[in-house]
């Protein structure tokens, strides 16, 4: 699965945890940067 700019998609998902899982599903399991970006998105959404 190819990575894409998740920031554009997150506005369509209101639940932060669902957003996190949607993001993480776009990452390669070996891509720590992508996974870290998803974690940061989750942290930001929880204020």
pTM for this predicted structure: 0.63
**Picking from 4-8, 13-17, 33-37, which range would have the lowest pLDDT averaged per residue?**
4-8
Exposed, middle or buried by CB within 10 Å (0-12, 13-18, 19+), for 22? middle
Determine the pLDDT at residue 47: 67
In angstroms, rounded to a whole number, what is the distance separating the alpha carbons of residues 45 and 2?
24
Q: What is the pLDDT of residues 9-26, one digit of tens each?
A: 544 567 889 989 999 999
């Amino acid at each position: 699965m190819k990575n894409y700019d998740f920031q554009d998609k997150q506005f369509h998902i209101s639940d932060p945890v669902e957003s996190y899982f949607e993001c993480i599903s776009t990452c390669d399991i070996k891509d720590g940067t992508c996974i870290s970006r998803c974690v940061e998105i989750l942290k930001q959404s929880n204020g």
